[in-house]
Structure 1
């Protein structure tokens, strides 16, 4: 009997186990009704918002033809985001988080309706685009801290890493489908239909959020105040490993976030058809990481992963700027998105597993600044650099600057590099507090 005559060996039982270990953990989705509703609301909102995310800079490009004008979106969004992000964190600790999410979601829908009305005018105006962009940034700043800080209330402590991954996956699905569909919609039906669909998604998400349980403030929560905001800032300043995550992400996004100039990059590569794919490529890379994220709970040195992932983002953006083939550009944009996802997973794990509940909203407001101010300033940097040099140089020089800044910050932040969630005093304290609360609730 030859070796080819032997019957095939049955598959090893270890293989399915290894495969399952890579797949995302769906436990929070199954165990929490409120998490399911807020997850679905976020999914439809992200999908619609990415339609507008593509439509708005493209409309500005068509009306002005200027990279500086498109990059200026980041400038007008910056101050409202800073002010409302910090105040939104204080509001999240002092008010019912569900109500705050609900009203800001409705406000975002109204603002998208204003963009739609401006678009259907015989001669659309430029200034409303900037005004609405600033107001959307303000609403986002008010909403995000509440949206993030409500998750630890509706998901058990040990399920938080899985919940973070699922929320990231929600964003990625919308970020892939939204920009990809936006390109098709705008090309065949016009900008107004992108705005119409975005308004519809806000109507759906408001209905879903209405059905989640109230999330009132802690019994000893004070009124929103500058003193309360400063209390959160002092806590963050005393946690050097948290400051490290903020600084790393801010530097990476400032130097290497070229999304505002994608319409010009697509033209430079003679591939205007690829605009939607450029916006979606990063989310594709992020989704790949999410779908294989079963390894995340086994990593304990979260700070090191944040640094390595940020360096990978910078390297991938450098390569994207150097490529002349549009498919290679898309590939490296996807790699950058995967690296950003890794960084986001471990940043969020550090925050959610170590911050006390009574400070969670205010710290989420500071966190919002770290991962949102960077992209806003990055858009200004990318647009300005493209105007003074060229589009692709703006991309690859930003990637190199990101690599250099991440290296310097890693050297200057030893507590970030040494962080270990198994032994960190804040993580241990939060595990004990959540465990005691669970025992008391069961009794």
Structure 2
């Protein structure tokens, strides 16, 4: 039974433990801001179009600084860059608190400050992920990634729930203030890390546009790493149905138009499943066929989304019972996505050389942030054309078809094998153009 639960071995390493513990209050605080920004925008404008516009203001800096931040992470001491990014996040959150506390009431100021915050987030995340393989042995990476994902998903649940409760007694500016205070924790933790200088002297100072292009060239020439991004895009674009939650909560499961408990259950189910998957992730470090494990996890995700769509279509007069079945399918999908994400991040950290890890982690952030946003547009349009049941279940079916095609097109990804207890992973049955690890 002990081997079934999450492997906490990476927490024995001092630097990783400091980063991980600092991340717990930080992700909760960040989710308070994620909750507060759309609430403030709607309160200022009474127009959902401005709330939707916040997605663009967040996505653009995520893409730009995710790629450039990854290049910087390869070109300078990662500890120093983490300190700069953490300080930037703290300043952005403080400014959001100031504008709310002073009742500036300028929607464009809120959107611009959101962009600044997301820019520093986009620098922080790839740098943090690229630093972890320098802290712990390769055999501990799956467990470390599982622990990180569990904290992130826990924050996605606790943050909004805590914000909803707190707003009964405090105003919106307090949420921003708490986020700003929690940003001080990772600054303290990062100052206490050992230096993490570039592993290659050739990369020092190489943080321009050419460095970003070099990262893409490396990615194009390494099939296993490239396919880890491709299969995730397939899973997210075709299979993430969150844009359908408001309509299905009301029409399929009988919830109120403005969401209510039904909408909250749907919105929290995937993250809840991911947290449960993280708790029972003790088996992850023993898996050597990581590519195959990713394919299986995405297949489970696709089947779960089919089940979710069918449950919505069959609700009818048994909306209450079918709601819990739909929530269960979403939770199963969340657990499968946690497994997929943990292994994909591990593949990226192990199969890539250290001098390009930052840039590839930048691409990873772009994929993780961009895929679900593209899914929102795709599922919204599909629901308008064919209904929510077909959009959700059909999306899950397309995930199965897409990941099968990807597996057949790149069998080296399916065969990707890591020999645990060795310093470096191995790839069997390679072709000349495949990864050389």
- Shorter-chain TM range is 0.7 to 0.9
Corresponding residue number in structure 2 for 1:228: 211
Corresponding residue number in structure 2 for 1:13: none
1:247, distance to aligned residue in structure 2 (A): 0.8
Q: Does 1:303 align with 2:284?
A: no
The alignment's TM-score, normalised by the length of structure 2, stands at 0.83
Q: Within 1, Cα distance between the matches of 2:239 and 2:174?
A: 31
1:63, distance to aligned residue in structure 2 (A): 5.2
Q: Secondary structure at the match of 1:294?
A: coil
Corresponding residue number in structure 1 for 2:353: 356
Q: Within 2, Cα distance between the matches of 1:135 and 1:261?
A: 29
Q: Is the 8 A contact 1:148 1:364 kept in 2?
A: yes
Q: Does 1:136 align with 2:117?
A: yes
Residues 1:252 and 1:337: Cα distance change in structure 2 (over 3 Å): same
Q: Within 2, Cα distance between the matches of 1:278 and 1:196?
A: 29
Q: Does 1:116 align with 2:97?
A: yes
1:317, distance to aligned residue in structure 2 (A): 3.2
Q: Secondary structure at the match of 1:160?
A: helix
Aligned partner of 1:199 among 159, 180, 184: 180
Structure 1, residues 328-358: CA drift from partner, whole Å, max 9, x if none? 4433332221111010121122122222112
Comparing 233-242 with 67-76, which one deviates more in the overlay?
A: 67-76
Residues 1:227 and 1:414: Cα distance change in structure 2 (over 3 Å): same
Residues 1:418 and 1:103: Cα distance change in structure 2 (over 3 Å): same
Corresponding residue number in structure 1 for 2:327: 330
Q: Does 1:315 align with 2:303?
A: yes
The alignment's TM-score, normalised by the length of structure 1, stands at 0.82
Comparing 165-174 with 38-47, which one deviates more in the overlay?
A: 165-174
**Map 1:170-185 → 2, pairs under 5 A:** 170-185=151-166
Residues 1:315 and 1:61: Cα distance change in structure 2 (over 3 Å): farther
Aligned partner of 1:414 among 404, 408, 411: 411
Q: Within 1, Cα distance between the matches of 2:412 and 2:248?
A: 39
Aligned residues: 410
Q: Within 2, Cα distance between the matches of 1:344 and 1:190?
A: 36
Q: Does 1:427 align with 2:393?
A: no
Larger Rg: 1
Q: Within 2, Cα distance between the matches of 1:264 and 1:60?
A: 22
**Map 1:39-438 → 2, pairs under 5 A:** 39-61=20-42, 69-120=50-101, 124-187=105-168, 189-218=170-199, 220=201, 221-223=203-205, 224-259=207-242, 269-270=255-256, 271-321=259-309, 322-323=311-312, 324-325=319-320, 326-382=323-379, 395-396=392-393, 398-422=395-419, 427-428=425-426
Q: Within 1, Cα distance between the matches of 2:385 and 2:42?
A: 17
Residues 1:26 and 1:311: Cα distance change in structure 2 (over 3 Å): same
Q: Secondary structure at the match of 2:2?
A: helix
Q: Within 1, Cα distance between the matches of 2:304 and 2:226?
A: 25
Q: Is the 8 A contact 2:70 2:127 kept in 1?
A: yes
Q: Is the 8 A contact 2:31 2:155 kept in 1?
A: yes
Residues 1:116 and 1:327: Cα distance change in structure 2 (over 3 Å): farther
Residues 1:187 and 1:417: Cα distance change in structure 2 (over 3 Å): farther
What is the root-mean-square deviation of aligned Cα atoms in Å?
3.1
Q: Secondary structure at the match of 2:27?
A: helix
1:412, distance to aligned residue in structure 2 (A): 2.5
Corresponding residue number in structure 2 for 1:438: none
Residues 1:228 and 1:157: Cα distance change in structure 2 (over 3 Å): same
Comparing 324-333 with 210-219, which one deviates more in the overlay?
A: 324-333
Q: Within 1, Cα distance between the matches of 2:382 and 2:53?
A: 12
Residues 1:198 and 1:35: Cα distance change in structure 2 (over 3 Å): same
